[in-house]
């Protein structure tokens, strides 16, 4: 009354959503199922009663009542099926609607993301990025050179490869010379020739002179 006196319209109730209608239809289908179960219980009682009755007016009366209950049961089952189908249709509509909304949000998000990507890409200078990559490659090369320099050996290698080969050849010809010289502490392997040259003959002759001559018996 106060709203009418001051000219204010009564707020209109919001329209029901597909979820609201689906929930209402589901509750209706459950109520119909309850009625069907009651009719099935009553129908089972009548059919059991007819088994123990003889043919006659009484049995026909019970049979007539059972037929009526069966007819009601079929009617409720058809109504329940229609209600469940309507509920399924509403669920499908709601699902499709939600999918469309999600798709729209996804597309809008993709558009916004693409716009931001283009904006950020404009801030980048491809030439500067390439220069940065070149500078990084130069720095890595210089760092490798520094590491190689720091890893260089300070030992002086004054031994000639030819002298080493000569020593090795002498050891192969007469290993006993190497071991005898090593025991006496007078090893000078670099002076040993690698082949049977004049120096080798002179060395051998010197060693033979140091040996005592055999006296005849």
Domain boundaries, the chain: 17-97
So what's the pLDDT on residue 125? Answer: 85
- What is the model's pTM? 0.47
For residue 8, pLDDT over 80 is answered with: no
So what's the pLDDT on residue 210? Answer: 43
For residue 205, pLDDT over 90 is answered with: no
State phi, psi for 155 to the nearest 5 degrees: -70, 140
- Tens of pLDDT, residue by residue over 177-199, are 655 555 555 444 444 444 444 44
- Tens of pLDDT, residue by residue over 80-113, are 999 999 999 999 999 999 999 999 999 999 999 9
* Distant-in-sequence, close-in-space partners of 177: CB < 8 Å, separation ≥ 6: 170, 171, 192
């Amino acid at each position: 009354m106060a709203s009418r006196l001051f000219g204010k319209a009564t707020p209109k109730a919001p329209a029901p959503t597909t979820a609201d209608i689906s929930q209402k239809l589901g509750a209706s289908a459950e109520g119909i199922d309850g009625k069907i179960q009651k009719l099935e219980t009553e129908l089972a009682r009548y059919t059991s009663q007819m088994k123990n009755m003889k043919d006659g007016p009484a049995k026909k009366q019970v049979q007539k009542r059972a037929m009526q209950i069966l007819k009601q049961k079929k009617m409720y089952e058809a109504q329940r099926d229609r209600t469940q189908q309507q509920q399924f249709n509403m669920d499908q509509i709601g699902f499709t609607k939600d999918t469309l909304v999600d798709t729209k949000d996804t597309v809008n998000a993709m558009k916004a993301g693409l716009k931001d990507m283009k904006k950020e890409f404009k801030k980048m200078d491809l030439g500067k990025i390439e220069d940065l990559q070149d500078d990084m490659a130069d720095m890595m090369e210089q760092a490798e050179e520094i590491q190689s320099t720091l890893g260089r050996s300070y030992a002086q290698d004054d031994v000639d490869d030819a002298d080493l080969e000569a020593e090795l050849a002498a050891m192969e010809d007469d290993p006993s010379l190497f071991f005898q010289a090593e025991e006496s502490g007078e090893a000078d392997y670099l002076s040993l020739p690698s082949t049977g040259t004049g120096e080798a003959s002179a060395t051998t002759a010197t060693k033979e002179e140091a040996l005592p001559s055999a006296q005849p018996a």
